[in-house]
Structure formats: C-alpha cells, structure tokens
Amino acid sequence: MSKNEKEEAIKNIIEDIAGCKPCRELPDVGNIPVFPRGNPLAAAMLVGEGPGEQEERQQKPFVGAAGKLLTETLTNMGYDVNRDFYITNIVKYRSYKALPGSRKKNKPPTIRQINVEHDFLEREIAAVKPKLITALGAKASQWFLGKDFKLTKERGKFYNWHGITILPTFHPAAVIRAKAVGEEERIREFRDDLGKIREVIKPSIAA
C-alpha cells in the first residue's frame, strides 16, 4: 500500500468505528468511540486491551495514567510515541461495570465484544503492515498468541504472527498496580521488554 492508500484505509476504519451500531448495543459497553492515534506509516504498533475512562473522554487510546507510564518509558528510550508508533486497542469502545450512582469501573472486554469489534484491529494491521506489534497485557497478548499464552512466563520475547513480530509485555496499568504494592521489579521488567523494540525499530529521535 502507498502512503496515501494507508492513510485512506485508516480514515475508512475510523469512520466505521464511529458508525458501528452493534458495538454500542452490547451490554456494559460505552457509546463513545475511541479512535487510534499515532502514525499509520509507523513500522511499530502498540496494542492494548480497550479504552478506560480518560481514553473515552479524550477519544484517544492510552492517554490516562497507564498511557502516561507507557509514553514516559518509550520517550526515555528516544521514541517519539506519536511518530514512531501507531497506537490502538483490541476494542474501541469502553467496557465497564456500572457502580451505584453513575460511576463506572473499567472491565476487560468480553469475548462477545471482541467478536463484534475484532475486524477493526485486523483491518488496521493490514493497512499499517507493521514490522513489530507490542501487545500490552494478557488480553492483547492472547489475542495474537492464543488463549493459553501465559504472560508472566512468556512475555518479553519475540513471536511470529502471520509474518509480523509480536512482543508481549505487561499492561502498563498492571505495572502501576504492582509498583503500588512494592513490586518494583515489574517496572524493570516492563522497561526491559520495551527495550527490545530497539532490536527491530530504532527510535526516530535518537537515530
């Protein structure tokens, strides 16, 4: 695909995400689409599970606390996150559990939601054609590597998925939770895993 074709393909996907009626009709799923961000021409993709509250508010992935940690970690390695990566999630609508009042708690997307939405991610990957996809967290890793994939044991290595290199690592939100209970090694492991991106794609700032 040429540069224009890639950009056009992503534009069409974004329109389809915005207009997806079945996506909003599922129980416990928000009705505000969260669109991909970053560079459709990048050689690397970051794929998370699904948007949270902040992402829904700004309609962009990884802009809350987890996104801040992810961005800081990659920026410290010399990456310009919005230029060097195309950033998206498995699902584009927020999955939540309703709490008393009008509060909502994020919850992982159900298989049903993933089945309704997975076509978007497949189309994004086909358009971007990245060399490397970093899968953030167990759900995203299992989407690529199968439901038996064990993140804790098998993360931080390269896997092949239809000719694309997959690098599974912790979800940054899990790193924040681990840090809060004194599990400092998790942040080091997360940094080490993300450091492996450099073996495939060099940071544009440091290059």
Strands (E), 90-206: 96-98, 104-106, 132-136, 159-161, 164-169
* Helix, strand counts (H, E) of the chain: 10, 8
The size of the interface with ligand URA (CB under 6 A), counted in residues, is 13
Q: According to CB under 6 A, which one of 39, 71, 73, 89 is a site residue for ligand URA?
A: 89
Q: Closest-CB residue for ligand URA?
A: 48
Asked if 113 interacts with ligand URA (CB under 6 A), we say no
Burial class (CB in 10 A: 0-12, 13-18, 19+), 179: middle
Asked if 66 interacts with ligand URA (CB under 6 A), we say yes
Per-residue DSSP letter, 43 = S
We find the least distance from the C-beta atom of residue 55 to ligand URA, in angstroms, to be 4
Radius of gyration of the chain (CA): 16
Between 104 and 202, whose beta carbon lies closer to ligand URA? 104
Length of the chain: 207
Q: In this chain, which stretch among 22-30, 49-57, 116-124, 193-201 interacts with ligand URA, using CB under 6 A?
A: 49-57
Asked if 49 interacts with ligand URA (CB under 6 A), we say yes
We find the least distance from the C-beta atom of residue 47 to ligand URA, in angstroms, to be 8
Q: In this chain, which stretch among 47-55, 125-133, 145-153, 160-168 interacts with ligand URA, using CB under 6 A?
A: 47-55
Asked if 50 interacts with ligand URA (CB under 6 A), we say yes
Strands (E), the chain: 37-38, 44-48, 85-89, 96-98, 104-106, 132-136, 159-161, 164-169
Summarize as ranges the residues that interact with ligand URA (CB under 6 A).
Answer: 48-52, 55, 61-62, 64, 66-67, 89, 173
